[in-house]
Amino acid sequence: MDDEELPAWRPPVPVVLPVRLDPLGRAGPTRSAARGRRWRRTCHGWYVPSWVDPTVPEQRVAEAVPHLSLGGVVTGWGALRMRGAHFLDGRAHDHSTLWPVTLAQGWHAAPRPPGAGVRQHQLRVGDCSVVGGVPVHAAVPALVDEMRLAPDLAHAVVCADAARAARLVTGLEMSETLAAGAGWLGIDQARRAWELSRDGVRSPPESRLRLVGREVDLTDLLVNVPVFSLDGRLLGYPDLLDAVAGLALEYDGAGHRSVARQRSDNLREEQLRAHAIEVLRVTSLDLARPLALGRRVLDVRARCAFLAPHARAWTLRPPPGWRPPPGR
């Protein structure tokens, strides 16, 4: 687990919307000013001040706005990010590949912009709103769009987990929308992704790690549940817990590299092992090799205690009066 995993929901950072050229230099740069170093062109005829960081996820979304046709909105991960889904930063798991910003267009669509995926789509009344100056799809249809147009199932599940963690969607809303989507492109993938999604996920790598577990038939992994000793002490919150075997799967991201964090991880791992819970630590390099990681998970699982519930030195039942800390 990472410090960077929190929060699952966060208000979008302010964005700077692109502006057109203005001969008077009031609403936008003059043509000569636009050629200078104080302005950056986002696309043909549109500019933002050069100090604006184009790598900020919300800003990437904002810079796609000029490509919207009348009545069009940002959908997919971009809309979810603008609505507070902090886990969705528009980057793939390799942290370098950028996801396209998808636009739900009216029938008179603007040309396809570089770096943005555009599709034809009719919007229902009430399906959109403006957040931070950006017209965005409602959370449920935006998530459905991202899941069904995702390049693979893992991407779709990551987005579903992120939307659930940010509490942007409900099961009832999603079930109704997915049920009504017969014939939609990619609807089967979207439905499967929603089935595989879970509450309580605290980072995208946790989602991918859970899917690796499913590939080796670990279908009942518990997500970020508190584990206690029999005398009521909190032992930790394993990212994923195989309660049958007594196996904790922990993802170690960049936040685990400090000496203080390593010490904390080691102490927690010692506590879990002392209570017969085996711990397997996973990094981004492991997730990049899912087949090898799956074999490693099974090898470690074979060494686990597989204790019956009455024989365990740990429990998932909290002691009387226990309350989870803020953010849990």
- 173 and 66 in one domain? yes
Say which residues have a Cβ less than 8 Å from residue 257's Cβ, sequence separation at least 6: none
Please give the share of the chain, as a percent, with pLDDT higher than 90. Answer: 79
Residue 256 confidence (pLDDT): 57
- Domain count of the fold of the chain: 2
Within a domain: 322: no
* Sheet of 278-282, strands arranged across: 222-223, 240-242, 247-251, 278-282
Amino acid at 176: E
- 78 and 174 in one domain? yes
- 197 and 164 in one domain? yes
DSSP class of residue 35 equals: T
Among residues 170, 186, 202, the one where a domain terminates is 202
- 193 and 59 in one domain? yes
Q: For the residues 164-190, what does the mean pLDDT come to? A: 95
Residue 113 confidence (pLDDT): 57
Within a domain: 156: yes
Within a domain: 21: no
Residue-number span of the structural domain to which 228 is assigned: 206-315
Q: How confident is the model at residue 187 (pLDDT cuts 50, 70, 90)?
A: very high
Q: What is the pTM of this model?
A: 0.91
Among residues 182, 202, 222, the one where a domain terminates is 202
Within a domain: 62: yes
Structure token pair of residue 113: 């912009």
Please write the tens of the pLDDT for every residue from 193-213.
999 999 999 999 999 999 999
Q: For the residues 23-38, what does the mean pLDDT come to? A: 97
- 166 and 89 in one domain? yes
Residue 3 confidence (pLDDT): 40
Taking the C-alpha atoms of residue 44 and residue 67, their distance in angstroms, rounded to an integer, is: 10
Q: What are phi and psi of 241, to 5 degrees?
A: -130, 125
73-74 vs 101-105, strand pairing mode: antiparallel
Structure token pair of residue 307: 């204790």
CATH number where 223 lies: 3.40.960
Taking the C-alpha atoms of residue 308 and residue 211, their distance in angstroms, rounded to an integer, is: 26
Within a domain: 47: no
- 210 and 198 in one domain? no
DSSP conformation letters of 226-258: -EEETTS-EEE--SEEETTTTEEEEE--GGG-S
Q: What are phi and psi of 271, to 5 degrees?
A: -60, -45
Among residues 202, 220, 237, the one where a domain terminates is 202
